């Protein structure tokens, strides 16, 4: 058995040591390619595109306290129902209103000099996520929601309904930046760029703008809303052959 293994290993050595000569006899170009590794240059570059947001998402809701769970639930449900009805009356589509949290919890307090918590009532929370497809409308909508009982407002997120166009423009900018770098390095090294060998893209895309929620005391006056700009960023890795 050991003799057979030694013979097999010897045959493999002969095969690989004789490969360049065999390739040279069959195809000289192939033999040269096998003997000389492909020279290449690898470049990373990022392309960014800024654009004003065309939609804004906010999580808002109502927290209600009552002596009984039913009392808290009724008060909360009445307020949330009015909020949702007002949103739909403001032309917010049903698909853009989504319940994100609903909870009923006992509310305990510790009386003075007491280590034992006492049940004093119940707390109901109901939150909805609302997407508005016109940034300028958000201020008046927030004002109305607060007047109808909304006492929980989460962070405001500005974004793009469809970032495809911005992502594609960022890809073009990223490739142009990578090509400019590759040409610079090739010229400095005294070589020429060949064909593109590979292109790969990091996960990423556009980044929505997130701002803190307005303070509840601002409800007495119009809420100022500034959307700013969103940034779409694409990072590429490109490899060129060198001639």
The per-residue pLDDT for range 32-52, each reduced to its tens digit, is 455 567 899 999 999 999 999
Cβ-based neighbour number of residue 183 at 10 Å: 15
Q: What whole-number percentage of the chain has pLDDT above 70?
A: 75
CATH of the domain at 238: 3.30.110.170
What is the Cα–Cα distance from 11 to 102, expressed in whole angstroms? 74
Side-by-side strand order, sheet with 97-109? 97-109, 118-132, 55-66, 152-159, 209-211
- Please indicate, yes or no, if residue 220 is contained in any of the structural domains: no
Same domain, 64 and 111: yes
* Domain, as residue range, for 24: 1-36
pLDDT band at 24 (very low <50, low <70, confident <90, very high): very low
Q: With 50 as the cut, is the pLDDT of residue 27 above it?
A: yes
Same domain, 141 and 24: no
> Residue 110: its pLDDT value, please?
82
Q: With 60 as the cut, is the pLDDT of residue 101 above it?
A: yes
Q: What is the pTM of this model?
A: 0.66
Same domain, 46 and 118: no
- Please indicate, yes or no, if residue 99 is contained in any of the structural domains: yes
Same domain, 154 and 194: no
pLDDT digits (tens, 9 = 90+) for 130-187: 999 988 888 889 888 988 889 988 878 899 999 999 999 999 999 999 999 999 999 9
CATH of the domain at 112: 3.30.70.2970
């Amino acid at each position: 058995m050991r003799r057979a293994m030694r013979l097999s290993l010897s045959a493999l050595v002969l095969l690989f040591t004789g490969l360049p000569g065999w390739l040279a006899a069959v195809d000289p170009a192939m033999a040269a390619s096998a003997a000389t590794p492909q020279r290449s240059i690898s470049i990373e570059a990022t392309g960014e595109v800024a654009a004003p947001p065309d939609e804004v998402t906010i999580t808002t809701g109502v927290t209600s306290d009552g002596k009984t769970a039913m009392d808290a639930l009724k008060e909360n449900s009445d307020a949330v129902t009015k909020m949702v009805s007002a949103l739909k009356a403001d032309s917010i589509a049903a698909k853009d209103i989504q319940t994100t949290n609903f909870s009923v919890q006992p509310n305990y307090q510790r009386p003075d000099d007491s280590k034992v918590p006492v049940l004093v009532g119940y707390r109901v929370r109901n939150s909805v996520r609302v997407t508005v497809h016109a940034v300028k409308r958000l201020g008046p909508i927030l004002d109305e929601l607060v007047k109808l009982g909304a006492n929980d407002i989460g962070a405001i997120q500005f974004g793009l309904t469809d970032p495809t166009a911005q992502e594609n423009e960022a890809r073009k900018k990223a490739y142009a930046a990578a090509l400019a770098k590759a040409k610079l390095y090739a010229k400095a090294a005294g070589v020429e760029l060949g064909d593109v060998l590979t292109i790969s893209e990091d996960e990423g895309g556009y980044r929505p703008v997130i701002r803190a929620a307005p303070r509840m005391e601002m409800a007495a006056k119009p809420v100022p809303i500034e959307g700013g700009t969103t940034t779409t960023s694409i990072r590429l890795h490109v490899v060129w052959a060198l001639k």
